[in-house]
Amino acid sequence: MDIILGVGTLLIVLLAMTLFLNFAPYGKKGLQALSGAACATFLPQAFLSYAIGGVFDIKFLQEIGDLAGSLSGVAVGFLTCLKLGVSPVFAVIVGLVLHDFKLLPAFLAAYIISFAIKFIEKKVPEGLDLITVILFAPAVAFLLASIMSPGVIALLHQIGSAVTAVGDNNPYVLATILGLIIPVTGMTPLSSMVLTSLLGLTGLPMAIGALTCTGSSFVNFIMFRQLKIGNASKAFAVAIEPLTQIDIIAKYPLQLYGTNAIIGVVNACIVTFSGLVINVTGMATPIAGAIVLFGFNEPIRAVVTIVTVAIVSILLSLVIGKTLNKFNMTRLNFNLPRVKKHAN
Protein backbone atom coordinates (compact mmCIF):
# COMPACT_ATOMS: atom_id res chain seq x y z
CA MET A 1 0.00 0.00 0.00
CA ASP A 2 2.86 2.40 0.82
CA ILE A 3 4.34 1.74 -2.64
CA ILE A 4 1.06 2.56 -4.40
CA LEU A 5 0.50 5.67 -2.26
CA GLY A 6 4.09 6.89 -2.63
CA VAL A 7 4.34 6.35 -6.38
CA GLY A 8 0.83 7.61 -7.01
CA THR A 9 1.28 10.86 -5.12
CA LEU A 10 4.67 11.48 -6.74
CA LEU A 11 3.15 11.00 -10.20
CA ILE A 12 0.29 13.34 -9.29
CA VAL A 13 2.78 16.09 -8.41
CA LEU A 14 4.60 15.56 -11.72
CA LEU A 15 1.32 15.59 -13.62
CA ALA A 16 0.20 18.79 -11.90
CA MET A 17 3.49 20.51 -12.71
CA THR A 18 3.33 19.29 -16.30
CA LEU A 19 -0.21 20.59 -16.73
CA PHE A 20 0.83 23.93 -15.24
CA LEU A 21 3.81 24.08 -17.59
CA ASN A 22 1.77 23.41 -20.71
CA PHE A 23 -1.58 25.02 -20.04
CA ALA A 24 -1.28 27.75 -17.38
CA PRO A 25 -0.71 31.32 -18.64
CA TYR A 26 3.04 31.97 -18.53
CA GLY A 27 3.44 28.44 -17.16
CA LYS A 28 6.99 27.98 -18.42
CA LYS A 29 8.09 31.38 -17.12
CA GLY A 30 6.48 30.63 -13.78
CA LEU A 31 8.36 27.35 -13.38
CA GLN A 32 11.58 29.07 -14.43
CA ALA A 33 11.02 31.54 -11.58
CA LEU A 34 10.32 28.68 -9.17
CA SER A 35 13.50 26.89 -10.24
CA GLY A 36 15.54 30.09 -10.12
CA ALA A 37 14.36 30.87 -6.59
CA ALA A 38 15.32 27.37 -5.44
CA CYS A 39 18.78 27.81 -6.94
CA ALA A 40 19.20 31.29 -5.43
CA THR A 41 18.32 30.18 -1.89
CA PHE A 42 18.83 26.44 -1.38
CA LEU A 43 22.12 26.22 -3.29
CA PRO A 44 23.87 28.95 -1.25
CA GLN A 45 22.54 27.31 1.90
CA ALA A 46 23.85 23.92 0.80
CA PHE A 47 27.31 25.17 -0.19
CA LEU A 48 27.91 27.67 2.60
CA SER A 49 26.06 26.13 5.52
CA TYR A 50 26.59 22.42 4.92
CA ALA A 51 29.35 21.73 2.38
CA ILE A 52 31.82 24.37 3.66
CA GLY A 53 30.58 25.80 6.95
CA GLY A 54 29.48 22.44 8.30
CA VAL A 55 32.54 20.47 7.23
CA PHE A 56 35.07 23.06 8.41
CA ASP A 57 32.93 24.37 11.29
CA ILE A 58 32.89 27.97 10.02
CA LYS A 59 29.99 29.58 11.90
CA PHE A 60 30.05 32.74 9.81
CA LEU A 61 29.40 30.83 6.57
CA GLN A 62 26.78 28.68 8.24
CA GLU A 63 24.87 31.80 9.29
CA ILE A 64 25.05 33.27 5.79
CA GLY A 65 23.91 30.02 4.22
CA ASP A 66 21.00 29.61 6.61
CA LEU A 67 19.98 33.23 5.98
CA ALA A 68 19.90 32.61 2.22
CA GLY A 69 17.90 29.43 2.71
CA SER A 70 15.30 31.22 4.81
CA LEU A 71 14.51 33.74 2.05
CA SER A 72 12.95 31.39 -0.52
CA GLY A 73 9.59 33.12 -0.20
CA VAL A 74 11.10 36.53 -0.95
CA ALA A 75 13.13 35.16 -3.87
CA VAL A 76 10.27 33.32 -5.53
CA GLY A 77 7.88 36.24 -5.07
CA PHE A 78 10.33 38.64 -6.69
CA LEU A 79 11.37 36.34 -9.55
CA THR A 80 7.82 35.23 -10.36
CA CYS A 81 6.61 38.81 -10.72
CA LEU A 82 9.62 39.70 -12.84
CA LYS A 83 9.19 36.68 -15.11
CA LEU A 84 5.55 37.55 -15.66
CA GLY A 85 6.47 41.08 -16.73
CA VAL A 86 5.74 43.06 -13.56
CA SER A 87 7.78 46.20 -12.84
CA PRO A 88 10.87 45.44 -10.68
CA VAL A 89 9.71 47.88 -7.96
CA PHE A 90 6.32 46.19 -7.75
CA ALA A 91 7.99 42.78 -7.78
CA VAL A 92 10.08 43.75 -4.74
CA ILE A 93 6.96 44.99 -2.93
CA VAL A 94 5.31 41.59 -3.41
CA GLY A 95 8.44 39.58 -2.63
CA LEU A 96 9.11 41.30 0.69
CA VAL A 97 5.74 40.44 2.22
CA LEU A 98 6.24 36.73 1.38
CA HIS A 99 9.28 36.46 3.67
CA ASP A 100 7.70 34.02 6.14
CA PHE A 101 6.22 31.62 3.58
CA LYS A 102 7.59 28.45 2.03
CA LEU A 103 8.52 28.17 -1.63
CA LEU A 104 5.29 26.86 -3.19
CA PRO A 105 2.67 28.94 -1.31
CA ALA A 106 4.74 32.07 -1.97
CA PHE A 107 5.04 31.15 -5.64
CA LEU A 108 1.30 30.61 -6.05
CA ALA A 109 0.49 33.90 -4.31
CA ALA A 110 3.00 35.83 -6.42
CA TYR A 111 1.79 34.14 -9.60
CA ILE A 112 -1.83 35.11 -8.97
CA ILE A 113 -1.13 38.66 -7.81
CA SER A 114 1.09 39.32 -10.84
CA PHE A 115 -1.92 39.31 -13.17
CA ALA A 116 -3.70 41.86 -10.98
CA ILE A 117 -0.61 44.09 -10.92
CA LYS A 118 -0.25 43.87 -14.71
CA PHE A 119 -3.88 44.96 -15.01
CA ILE A 120 -3.24 47.91 -12.69
CA GLU A 121 -0.13 48.89 -14.67
CA LYS A 122 -2.19 48.90 -17.84
CA LYS A 123 -5.28 50.74 -16.56
CA VAL A 124 -4.02 53.13 -13.85
CA PRO A 125 -2.08 56.28 -14.83
CA GLU A 126 1.66 56.30 -14.21
CA GLY A 127 2.52 57.56 -10.73
CA LEU A 128 -0.88 56.68 -9.34
CA ASP A 129 -0.24 53.02 -10.15
CA LEU A 130 2.50 52.89 -7.48
CA ILE A 131 0.10 54.02 -4.76
CA THR A 132 -2.55 51.59 -6.00
CA VAL A 133 -0.14 48.66 -5.96
CA ILE A 134 1.14 49.57 -2.48
CA LEU A 135 -2.40 49.68 -1.09
CA PHE A 136 -3.53 46.51 -2.86
CA ALA A 137 -0.77 44.03 -3.74
CA PRO A 138 1.08 43.40 -0.44
CA ALA A 139 -2.10 42.75 1.55
CA VAL A 140 -3.64 40.48 -1.09
CA ALA A 141 -0.39 38.56 -1.70
CA PHE A 142 0.03 38.00 2.04
CA LEU A 143 -3.61 36.95 2.40
CA LEU A 144 -3.39 34.50 -0.52
CA ALA A 145 -0.21 32.93 0.83
CA SER A 146 -1.70 32.68 4.33
CA ILE A 147 -4.82 30.94 3.04
CA MET A 148 -2.98 28.47 0.80
CA SER A 149 0.02 27.74 2.98
CA PRO A 150 -1.47 25.29 5.55
CA GLY A 151 -3.13 23.10 2.92
CA VAL A 152 -0.21 23.16 0.49
CA ILE A 153 2.39 22.40 3.16
CA ALA A 154 0.27 19.59 4.63
CA LEU A 155 -0.22 18.05 1.18
CA LEU A 156 3.47 18.20 0.33
CA HIS A 157 4.39 16.81 3.74
CA GLN A 158 1.98 13.90 3.18
CA ILE A 159 3.46 13.19 -0.24
CA GLY A 160 7.01 13.35 1.08
CA SER A 161 6.09 11.04 3.96
CA ALA A 162 4.50 8.56 1.55
CA VAL A 163 7.59 8.51 -0.66
CA THR A 164 9.87 8.12 2.37
CA ALA A 165 7.70 5.28 3.68
CA VAL A 166 8.36 3.38 0.46
CA GLY A 167 12.09 3.75 1.09
CA ASP A 168 11.79 2.53 4.66
CA ASN A 169 10.03 -0.65 3.58
CA ASN A 170 11.49 -1.22 0.11
CA PRO A 171 14.66 0.87 -0.40
CA TYR A 172 15.47 -0.56 -3.82
CA VAL A 173 11.92 -0.06 -5.05
CA LEU A 174 12.22 3.60 -4.06
CA ALA A 175 15.63 3.73 -5.74
CA THR A 176 14.08 2.46 -8.97
CA ILE A 177 11.27 5.01 -8.83
CA LEU A 178 13.51 8.00 -8.04
CA GLY A 179 16.17 6.82 -10.48
CA LEU A 180 13.62 6.84 -13.27
CA ILE A 181 11.99 10.15 -12.42
CA ILE A 182 14.55 12.57 -10.98
CA PRO A 183 17.25 12.60 -13.73
CA VAL A 184 14.58 12.98 -16.42
CA THR A 185 12.77 15.72 -14.47
CA GLY A 186 16.10 17.53 -14.18
CA MET A 187 16.16 17.82 -17.98
CA THR A 188 12.80 19.60 -18.14
CA PRO A 189 11.54 23.01 -16.96
CA LEU A 190 9.95 21.20 -14.02
CA SER A 191 13.46 20.92 -12.47
CA SER A 192 14.52 18.06 -10.20
CA MET A 193 15.71 20.59 -7.65
CA VAL A 194 12.23 22.10 -7.37
CA LEU A 195 10.58 18.67 -7.25
CA THR A 196 12.73 17.46 -4.36
CA SER A 197 12.39 20.82 -2.60
CA LEU A 198 8.60 20.71 -2.77
CA LEU A 199 8.44 17.13 -1.55
CA GLY A 200 10.88 17.86 1.26
CA LEU A 201 12.99 14.79 0.51
CA THR A 202 15.94 14.26 2.84
CA GLY A 203 18.17 11.38 3.92
CA LEU A 204 18.71 8.53 1.45
CA PRO A 205 16.06 9.75 -1.07
CA MET A 206 17.84 13.10 -1.30
CA ALA A 207 21.22 11.40 -1.76
CA ILE A 208 19.69 9.35 -4.57
CA GLY A 209 18.34 12.52 -6.17
CA ALA A 210 21.70 14.28 -5.90
CA LEU A 211 23.89 11.52 -7.31
CA THR A 212 21.51 10.46 -10.07
CA CYS A 213 21.71 14.07 -11.26
CA THR A 214 25.51 13.94 -11.00
CA GLY A 215 25.51 10.75 -13.03
CA SER A 216 23.18 12.42 -15.54
CA SER A 217 25.87 15.02 -16.24
CA PHE A 218 28.28 12.32 -17.41
CA VAL A 219 25.50 10.59 -19.34
CA ASN A 220 24.52 13.73 -21.21
CA PHE A 221 28.10 14.67 -22.03
CA ILE A 222 28.84 11.23 -23.50
CA MET A 223 25.52 11.05 -25.37
CA PHE A 224 25.99 14.48 -26.93
CA ARG A 225 29.43 13.39 -28.18
CA GLN A 226 28.32 9.90 -29.26
CA LEU A 227 25.25 11.11 -31.13
CA LYS A 228 27.11 14.17 -32.48
CA ILE A 229 24.63 16.60 -30.96
CA GLY A 230 26.03 20.12 -31.21
CA ASN A 231 29.71 20.89 -30.63
CA ALA A 232 32.03 20.34 -27.68
CA SER A 233 30.83 23.48 -25.90
CA LYS A 234 27.22 22.23 -26.03
CA ALA A 235 28.28 18.90 -24.54
CA PHE A 236 30.16 20.68 -21.76
CA ALA A 237 27.21 23.00 -21.09
CA VAL A 238 24.70 20.14 -20.80
CA ALA A 239 27.03 18.37 -18.38
CA ILE A 240 27.16 21.43 -16.12
CA GLU A 241 23.44 22.22 -16.26
CA PRO A 242 21.03 20.32 -18.57
CA LEU A 243 18.43 23.11 -18.49
CA THR A 244 20.79 25.29 -20.58
CA GLN A 245 20.29 22.88 -23.49
CA ILE A 246 16.66 22.03 -22.95
CA ASP A 247 15.62 22.91 -26.51
CA ILE A 248 18.22 20.53 -27.97
CA ILE A 249 17.36 17.78 -25.47
CA ALA A 250 13.71 17.95 -26.52
CA LYS A 251 14.72 16.98 -30.08
CA TYR A 252 16.12 13.64 -28.84
CA PRO A 253 13.60 12.55 -26.20
CA LEU A 254 13.88 8.78 -26.65
CA GLN A 255 17.66 8.77 -26.79
CA LEU A 256 18.39 11.20 -23.95
CA TYR A 257 15.45 10.76 -21.59
CA GLY A 258 15.49 7.01 -22.08
CA THR A 259 19.22 6.67 -21.47
CA ASN A 260 19.10 8.86 -18.38
CA ALA A 261 16.18 6.87 -16.96
CA ILE A 262 17.92 3.52 -17.45
CA ILE A 263 21.25 4.63 -16.02
CA GLY A 264 19.46 6.61 -13.30
CA VAL A 265 17.97 3.40 -11.92
CA VAL A 266 21.42 1.75 -11.82
CA ASN A 267 22.96 4.76 -10.09
CA ALA A 268 20.09 4.99 -7.61
CA CYS A 269 20.68 1.37 -6.60
CA ILE A 270 24.40 2.11 -6.14
CA VAL A 271 23.60 5.03 -3.83
CA THR A 272 21.11 2.91 -1.90
CA PHE A 273 23.75 0.22 -1.39
CA SER A 274 26.24 2.84 -0.19
CA GLY A 275 23.84 4.16 2.46
CA LEU A 276 24.70 7.82 1.84
CA VAL A 277 22.36 10.54 3.08
CA ILE A 278 21.79 14.26 2.57
CA ASN A 279 19.80 15.83 5.38
CA VAL A 280 18.83 18.99 3.53
CA THR A 281 16.25 19.22 0.80
CA GLY A 282 16.49 20.47 -2.79
CA MET A 283 19.94 19.07 -3.64
CA ALA A 284 18.98 17.22 -6.82
CA THR A 285 21.52 19.12 -8.87
CA PRO A 286 24.66 17.83 -10.65
CA ILE A 287 27.54 19.60 -8.89
CA ALA A 288 26.21 20.94 -5.59
CA GLY A 289 24.54 17.64 -4.72
CA ALA A 290 27.80 15.73 -4.90
CA ILE A 291 29.66 18.36 -2.87
CA VAL A 292 27.02 18.52 -0.14
CA LEU A 293 27.44 14.78 0.42
CA PHE A 294 30.67 15.52 2.28
CA GLY A 295 28.76 17.54 4.85
CA PHE A 296 26.73 14.52 5.96
CA ASN A 297 28.83 11.42 5.22
CA GLU A 298 32.28 9.91 5.66
CA PRO A 299 34.52 11.45 2.95
CA ILE A 300 35.95 8.12 1.73
CA ARG A 301 32.51 6.53 1.31
CA ALA A 302 31.26 9.64 -0.49
CA VAL A 303 34.25 9.71 -2.85
CA VAL A 304 33.98 5.98 -3.65
CA THR A 305 30.27 6.31 -4.44
CA ILE A 306 30.71 9.42 -6.59
CA VAL A 307 33.54 7.79 -8.58
CA THR A 308 31.50 4.59 -8.99
CA VAL A 309 28.48 6.54 -10.25
CA ALA A 310 30.69 8.49 -12.67
CA ILE A 311 32.37 5.35 -14.08
CA VAL A 312 29.09 3.43 -14.42
CA SER A 313 27.43 6.43 -16.11
CA ILE A 314 30.28 6.81 -18.61
CA LEU A 315 30.52 3.10 -19.47
CA LEU A 316 26.78 2.56 -19.86
CA SER A 317 26.45 5.76 -21.91
CA LEU A 318 29.19 4.59 -24.27
CA VAL A 319 27.47 1.22 -24.70
CA ILE A 320 24.04 2.76 -25.32
CA GLY A 321 25.44 5.48 -27.58
CA LYS A 322 27.36 3.00 -29.73
CA THR A 323 24.29 0.75 -29.92
CA LEU A 324 22.12 3.62 -31.11
CA ASN A 325 24.69 4.52 -33.75
CA LYS A 326 25.13 0.90 -34.88
CA PHE A 327 21.42 0.40 -35.47
CA ASN A 328 20.99 3.88 -36.95
CA MET A 329 18.69 5.03 -34.13
CA THR A 330 20.34 8.39 -33.59
CA ARG A 331 17.41 10.36 -34.99
CA LEU A 332 14.70 7.88 -34.05
CA ASN A 333 11.62 9.58 -32.65
CA PHE A 334 7.95 8.90 -32.29
CA ASN A 335 5.94 11.88 -33.45
CA LEU A 336 2.18 11.93 -33.45
CA PRO A 337 0.74 12.39 -36.94
CA ARG A 338 -0.19 15.98 -37.61
CA VAL A 339 -3.55 16.93 -38.96
CA LYS A 340 -3.17 18.53 -42.36
CA LYS A 341 -4.64 21.97 -42.69
CA HIS A 342 -6.83 22.39 -45.76
CA ALA A 343 -7.03 25.69 -47.54
CA ASN A 344 -10.43 27.38 -47.38
SS (H, E, C) the chain: CHHHHHHHHHHHHHHHHHHHHHHCCCHHHHHHHHHHHHHHHHHHHHHHHHHHHHHHCCHHHHHHHHHHHCCHHHHHHHHHHHHCCCCHHHHHHHHHHCCCCCHHHHHHHHHHHHHHHHHHHHHCCCCHHHHHHHHHHHHHHHHHHHHHHHHHHHHHHHHHHHHHHHHHHCHHHHHHHHHHHHHHHCCCCCCHHHHHHHHCCCEHHHHHHHHHHHHHHHHHHHHHHHCCCCCHHHHHHHHHCHHHHHHHHCCCHHHHHHHHHHHHHHHHHHHHHHCCCECCCCCCCHHHHHHHHHHCCCHHHHHHHHHHHHHHHHHHHHHHHHHHHHCCCCCCCCCCCCCCCCCC
How would residue 174 be classed by pLDDT, with cut points 50, 70 and 90?
Answer: confident
How would residue 109 be classed by pLDDT, with cut points 50, 70 and 90?
Answer: very high
Poorest-pLDDT segment among 2-11, 204-213, 258-267: 2-11
- pLDDT value for 341: 43
Poorest-pLDDT segment among 6-15, 57-66, 221-230: 6-15
Picking from 84, 133, 132, 129, the residue whose alpha carbon sits closest to that of residue 108 is 84
Summarised one tens digit per residue, pLDDT across range 227-254 is: 888 888 889 988 987 877 877 887 888 8
Average pLDDT rounded to a whole number, residues 205-216: 95
- pLDDT value for 336: 41
Is the model's pTM score more than 0.75? Answer: yes
- pLDDT value for 5: 65
Q: What are 243's strand-pairing partners?
A: none
Residue 127 has pLDDT above 80, yes or no: yes
How would residue 7 be classed by pLDDT, with cut points 50, 70 and 90?
Answer: low
Residue 338 has pLDDT above 50, yes or no: no
Query: Quick check: 195 and 206 in contact, CB under 8 A?
Result: no
Residue 8 has pLDDT above 60, yes or no: yes
Summarised one tens digit per residue, pLDDT across range 68-104 is: 989 999 999 999 999 999 999 999 999 999 999 988 8
How would residue 125 be classed by pLDDT, with cut points 50, 70 and 90?
Answer: very high
Residue 13 has pLDDT above 80, yes or no: no
Picking from 112, 283, 157, 147, the residue whose alpha carbon sits closest to that of residue 213 is 283
Residue 144 has pLDDT above 90, yes or no: yes
